[in-house]
Amino acid sequence: MTAPTTARGQAAVPGGWLRRYRPADDAAVRLVCFPHAGGSASAYLRFAAALAPSGVEVLAVQYPGRQDRRGEPFVGTVEELVEAVLPELRQWTHGPFALFGHSLGATVAFETARRLTEGGRTPAHLFLSGRRAPVVPRTDTVHLMDDRALVERVTRLQGTDPTLLEDEELLSMVLPAIRNDYAMAGAYRYRPGPPLSVPTTVLTGDADPNVTPDDARRWSEVVGGPFNLHVLPGGHFFLNDHTAGICSLIEEELGDAH
C-alpha cells in the first residue's frame, strides 16, 4: 500500500489520522501509537526510528486540532475519537498489529482494541503506558483550571518543552488542544464488559504523580490475556528517558507476531 507525503516529509494515510514516519510496506508487524493529552503523532518519531530495523512499523495517530490538522475541530470524547479513527485503522490491520498508548492515549488504545476485537481483528499485543486502570475511581477536573494553572500543571509533568510554554504565541496554539484532551479524559467512563483477551504490557513511572503502581496493576482486571507490569524510574513522562529500553521490550513482546 502506498501513501502520499505531507509537506513535512512524512508519509500520511489518506484521511489524515495516521502518520508513517518510516514507511515499510513489507513490515512484519505494525504498532499503532496514540499520543498523550495535548500531544501529537510526532511524539512517536523516536519510536519509529528505533523500531524500524526490527521490522516493526510505527503508525502514529494524529488527533485533529494540532500540527498539520490544526484547522480541524477537536474531538469531544474518547468514544468519538475511536469511532473516527477505526475506518482508517481497519485498512492497516489485516496483518499482525499491536497498539501502544501513553496517558490519555492508553485509554484510547484500550477502547480501540475493544472495538477492533469485537470486529474480529484482535491485536497481537496491547501496550498501556502512564495511565491508571479505568476501574480506578478518579475525578479529572484539570480542564476546568484557568490558563495559568493549566500551564503550571503541564509544566510539572515535564512532557512539554518549557520554552514552548513560555512563548505566548505558541502557547495560544497548543493550549486549546491540551484543555480539550484533558476534558476528553475527564468525561471518559469505563463501559464494563468481558475482559479483553489480548496480551498486555503496562508501563508506569515510579514517581508519576498521576498513577501509582497499584493503579497501573489494576489494568489486569479489564484484560484477560497474559499480563506484565513494568515500573520504570521517572515521572509521568518516564518514557522520554527510556525510549531505547521500551522499544527493546516492544520488539521482544512482538517477536512471536512476526
Residues with catalytic roles: 103, 236
- 186-193, Cβ contacts within 8 angstroms, sequence gap of 24 or more: 186/140, 186/141, 186/142, 186/143, 187/76, 187/77, 187/78, 188/77, 188/78, 188/107, 188/134, 190/134, 190/135, 190/222, 193/114
67: nearest Cα among 110, 35, 103, 22: 35
CA angle 88, 77, 202 (to 5 degrees): 75
Tell me whether strands 29-34 and 97-102 are parallel, antiparallel or unpaired.
Answer: parallel
